[in-house]
Amino acid sequence: MDRIYAFTLATAFALPAAAFEPLTIVDQGSFAAGGTVIETPGEYDNNAPTEAGQTFHGNHLYAFYQVPQDANPLPLVFWHGAYQSGRSWETTSDGREGFQTMFLRRGYTTYVIDQARRGRAGNSTEAASIEPTPYDQLFFDQFRFGQWPEYFEGVQVDQSEETLNQFFRSVTPNTGPYDPAILADATSALIDRIGPAVLVTHSQAGGPGWLTAIRNPDVKGIVALEPGSGFVFPEDAMPEAMPSAAGTLEAEPIPAEDFVRLTEIPIVIYYGDNIPDEPTEERGKDNWRVRLDMARLWVDAINERGGDATLVHLPEEGITGGTHFLMSDLNNGQIADHIAGWLDAKNLNQ
């Protein structure tokens, strides 16, 4: 009981966060990378313009970068998940530093992207209809804050109303059809521009992250936080589909020679807490049971082929209460340290 009481007190007074330590930036800015151009047939008339003869630039990504003093050679590219933008990595919903600033302090140049057809990279070569989709409660469950409206005991989330409001307002829609190949093309173009780098992916970005590494030898390592889909396997070694209370998770086949590329770089995957070992009817939890299981098979498939993949299930290391948003949980500093330790161990800080 004492521990629970202490935790409650700590969260009650968690805000405002500690003062920001001054940070010297030796470069910052933004640009677009990748993308395509489509053109409407016909001739452009400057003084009576229609779409005829005009072009449209789309399917690129947007990147905002910052460089700290004496930066490590390899930058980190932070890639948000579904319904999110680069904001995932900035200030946490409860107002504390996110990974963007935390890893600047740890000596890393940071690139925070909005993937193609999301956020500031909204131009899509294919049309989309955007409907206001009331998913707040589903997100609360699926991101393992708790079982709406109750938070999980000990969950690493500030439980104030404004924190939840900020979280829900970090949601932003796709502005074109979701297409992992287009996303990977754009991120590969980013890597072409900036040179060798490490990807830090969240959730849905896991899959297009693997695809980017397959496309581009300058992806030197991947940190994947709670990948949720897009587990690619050699087409001759596909695992069984995995049914769950949240639907069936299927692996995705790729040529065996493409899979080899994933055995050539260090990869680490992190999952948080409240993921059951056994099937449950609690949809929000069961969704992650099969993803964690699939991730275990995936890591094995890589390591059996001579690769270097690690799965970190944080509760097994005594780090409890982690949600789907490990990078903005109350203990995100601890998670950042864990990742920084892995980067050090794999010589990716050099």
Task: Give the footprint of a copy of itself on residues 115-174 (CB under 8 A).
Answer: 118-138, 141, 147-148, 165-166, 168-173
Contacts with a copy of itself: how many residues (CB under 8 A)? 81
Which are the contacts of 134, defined by CB distance < 8 A and separation ≥ 6?
none
- Which of residues 4, 10, 49, 345 is near a copy of itself by CB under 8 A? 49
**Six-digit token string for 250:** 């299927």
Least Å distance between CB 90 and a copy of itself?
Answer: 4
Residues from 274 through 333 that contact a copy of itself (CB under 8 A): 281-284
Residues from 264 through 283 that contact a copy of itself (CB under 8 A): 281-283
**Per-residue string for binding with a copy of itself, 23-42, x by CB under 8 A?**
xxxxxxxxxx--x--xxx--
Contacts 24+ apart (CB under 8 A), 294-298: 294/231, 294/239, 294/242, 294/249, 294/251, 295/227, 295/231, 295/269, 295/271, 297/231, 297/233, 297/239, 297/251, 298/231, 298/233, 298/251, 298/269
Provide the β-strand partners of residue 108: none
Nearest CB to a copy of itself, comparing residues 312 and 330: 330
Which are the contacts of 104, defined by CB distance < 8 A and separation ≥ 6?
23, 25, 66, 68, 110
**Per-residue string for binding with a copy of itself, 203-242, x by CB under 8 A?**
----------------------------------------
Least Å distance between CB 116 and a copy of itself?
Answer: 10
For residues 64 and 217, is the Cβ–Cβ distance under 8 A? no
Alpha carbon of 252 to those of 88, 220, 232: distances in Å? 26, 23, 5
Nearest CB to a copy of itself, comparing residues 59 and 156: 59
Least Å distance between CB 3 and a copy of itself?
Answer: 27
- Which of residues 8, 9, 15, 53 is near a copy of itself by CB under 8 A? 53
**Six-digit token string for 191:** 């890597």
- Report the C-alpha gap between 331 and 325 in whole angstroms: 11
3-state secondary structure at position 115: coil
Nearest CB to a copy of itself, comparing residues 267 and 330: 330
* Radius of gyration (C-alpha) of the chain in whole angstroms: 21
Least Å distance between CB 267 and a copy of itself?
Answer: 28
Alpha carbon of 344 to those of 6, 106, 312, 347: distances in Å? 33, 11, 16, 5
Residues from 73 through 112 that contact a copy of itself (CB under 8 A): 85-87, 90-91, 95, 97-98, 101
Nearest CB to a copy of itself, comparing residues 172 and 310: 172
Least Å distance between CB 27 and a copy of itself?
Answer: 4
Least Å distance between CB 198 and a copy of itself?
Answer: 22
Least Å distance between CB 128 and a copy of itself?
Answer: 5
Least Å distance between CB 2 and a copy of itself?
Answer: 31
C-alpha torsion angle, residues 298, 258, 85, 246 (rounded to 10): -40
